[in-house]
Amino acid sequence: MKIASCGTIESNDCLITIKKNHETKIDIESIVYDQFKDQIEKVIQDTLKEMKMHNVHVHIQDKGALDYTIRARLITAIERMEEDHA
């Protein structure tokens, strides 16, 4: 099974892990979960849709990353998974 990740668990960053799955699933661990869960999920869903990714399991460990950081980390993880450089 191809698994890829990108990022760190440093402050203001996130670690995203992605792998193929039988359905699309998003797991969010975040220090700002109560305030920003919906926004984090939206950024991930929008990015997956834009990248035409289906049937993947995305796990994010967020330490307060901004939207553009989450998006960049997810795109890089997707590219790594597709290129099998994970």
pLDDT single digits (tens) 23-62: 999 999 999 999 999 999 999 999 999 999 999 999 999 9
Q: Considering the domain 3-83 in this protein, what is its CATH number?
A: 3.30.230.10
Domains of the chain, by residue range, sit at 3-83
**HSE of 86 in the Cβ direction (CA atoms, 13 Å)?**
21
Beta-sheet pairing, 56-62 with 14-20: antiparallel
Total-model pTM:
0.93
CA terminus-to-terminus distance, the chain: 11
- Residue 70, both tokens: 């989450």
**Single-letter residue type at 50:** E
What is the reported pLDDT for 86?
Answer: 44
